[in-house]
Amino acid sequence: MEQVRWIVYSDYLCPWCFNGMVRLRAVEREFEGRVHLEWRSFLLRPEPSPRRDLEKFRAYTRTWLRPAEESDSGRFRVWQGDAGPPSHSIPPHRVAKAAGSIGDHAFRAVQERLFHAYFAENRDITAAETLAQVWQEAGLPPHEFARAEDPRWAAEAIAEHEEAIRLGAGGVPSVRVEGGDACVTGAYPVDMYRRWARRLLGT
């Protein structure tokens, strides 16, 4: 195989997905064009929920300390301030997909900023104002943010989520080889992804 193409199902509200992005991106860089990642949506909170109790949410975010302790992890901070809790998964996916319509570089920049804004900066990435700020922080033209209002992005996110469920992805991150129908679920160490890539590439 000349190139490994992985489909990655991920959600911006999942701490393990943040670690998965960090590690998979590292492998992609290491193999210099021989590993390609395609990111698709998985919706841990597919529908808007009633306003959740902020103190209970703060207590939940203490569980982020576990992924924070792993090697090759993203940056995490137990929730501070009065923002949030996030309402549901669709808004950040919608904005990331709108960025992707500009180009892969734009998607990558927004993807990284969304994870960092939520887990390291404790910002509600389902709030319209925060999403507009993330867009600009990623270096994208402010006038292009209107792309995110296109309803096709939400429809696409839902369709990808349903695809992941059909393929047996019971959690995230889940990765499958393009063309395959089996998902490997979990944020595995970089070395596991590296070995998988080498096996597929025959190196």
The answer, yes or no, to whether residue 158 has pLDDT greater than 90, is yes
Residues 176-187 have a mean pLDDT of: 95
What percent of the chain lies above the pLDDT cut of 90?
A: 95
CA distance between the termini of the chain: 10
Domains and CATH numbers, the chain: 4-201 (3.40.30.10)
The answer, yes or no, to whether residue 14 has pLDDT greater than 80, is yes
Lowest-pLDDT choice from 42-56, 87-101, 176-190: 42-56
Average pLDDT, the chain: 96
DSSP string spanning the chain?
---EEEEEEE-TT-HHHHHHHHHHHHHHHHTTTSEEEEEEE--SS-S--PPPPHHHHHHHHGGGHHHHHSTT--------SS------SHHHHHHHHHHHTT-HHHHHHHHHHHHHHHHTT---TTSHHHHHHHHHHTT--GGGGGGGG-THHHHHHHHHHHHHHHTT--SSSEEEETT----EES---HHHHHHHHHHHHT-
The answer, yes or no, to whether residue 76 has pLDDT greater than 90, is yes
pLDDT band at 112 (very low <50, low <70, confident <90, very high): very high
Instruction: List pLDDT tens digits, range 32-57.
Output: 999 999 999 999 999 998 778 999 99
Residues 105-129 have a mean pLDDT of: 98
pLDDT at 31: 96
The answer, yes or no, to whether residue 167 has pLDDT greater than 80, is yes
The answer, yes or no, to whether residue 139 has pLDDT greater than 80, is yes
Contacts of 6 (CB under 8 A, 6+ apart): 24, 35, 36, 37, 38, 175, 176, 177, 178
> Amino acid letter at 2?
E
Contacts of 116 (CB under 8 A, 6+ apart): 74, 75
Residues 129-151 have a mean pLDDT of: 98
The answer, yes or no, to whether residue 5 has pLDDT greater than 80, is yes
pLDDT at 100: 98
pLDDT at 200: 95
The answer, yes or no, to whether residue 1 has pLDDT greater than 90, is no
The CA distance from 139 to 145, in Å, is: 11
Select the more confidently predicted residue: 68 or 49.
68
pLDDT at 110: 98
- What is the pTM (predicted TM-score) of this model? 0.96
What percent of the chain lies above the pLDDT cut of 70?
A: 100
pLDDT at 119: 98
The CA distance from 103 to 135, in Å, is: 14
